[in-house]
Amino acid sequence: MKPVVELKNLTKTIGRKKIVDNLNLALYPGQITGFLGPNGAGKTTTIRMMVGLMEPSGGDVIIDGISLADDFEGGLSKVGVIVENPEMYKYMSGYKNLVHFARMHENVSKARIDEVVQQVGMQNRIHEKVSTYSLGMRQRLGLAQALLHRPKFLILDEPTNGLDPAGIREFRTYLRSIAEKEDVSIFVSSHMLSEIELMCDRIAVIQNGQLIDIRDMAEARESHYYIEALPTEAAEEMLKAEGFAVEAYNGGFIINAERARIPGLIQEMTDQKLQLFAVQPHRKTLEDQFLEMTGGGQIAEAHTK
Residue 84's nearest CA partner among 165, 157, 164, 142 is: 157
**Which is more confident, 109 or 302?**
109
What is the predicted pLDDT for the residue at 185? 95
What is the predicted pLDDT for the residue at 65? 92
What is the predicted pLDDT for the residue at 288? 67
Put simply, whether the predicted model's pTM sits higher than 0.85 gets the answer no
Q: Give per-residue pLDDT as tens, 201-215.
A: 998 988 888 998 888
Q: What percent of the chain has pLDDT over 70?
A: 91
Predicted confidence (pLDDT) at residue 271 exceeds the cutoff of 60? yes
- Structural domains of the chain, ranges and CATH numbers in brackets: 5-216 (3.40.50.300), 223-287 (3.30.70.80)
What is the predicted pLDDT for the residue at 158? 83
Predicted confidence (pLDDT) at residue 97 exceeds the cutoff of 90? yes
What is the predicted pLDDT for the residue at 297? 52
Residue 131's nearest CA partner among 171, 97, 157, 101 is: 97
Q: Give per-residue pLDDT as tens, 104-152.
A: 888 889 999 999 999 888 899 999 999 999 888 888 899 999 999 999 9
Q: Are strands 252-256 and 224-230 parallel, antiparallel or unpaired?
A: antiparallel
Q: What percent of the chain has pLDDT over 90?
A: 46
What is the predicted pLDDT for the residue at 302? 38
What is the predicted pLDDT for the residue at 220? 59
- Taking residues 163-172, report their average pLDDT: 84
What is the predicted pLDDT for the residue at 215? 83
| Spatial separation of the C-alpha atoms in residues 136 and 162, rounded to whole Å | 9
What is the predicted pLDDT for the residue at 304? 38
Q: Give per-residue pLDDT as tens, 55-84.
A: 999 999 999 999 999 999 999 899 998 876
| Spatial separation of the C-alpha atoms in residues 87 and 93, rounded to whole Å | 13
Predicted confidence (pLDDT) at residue 193 exceeds the cutoff of 50? yes
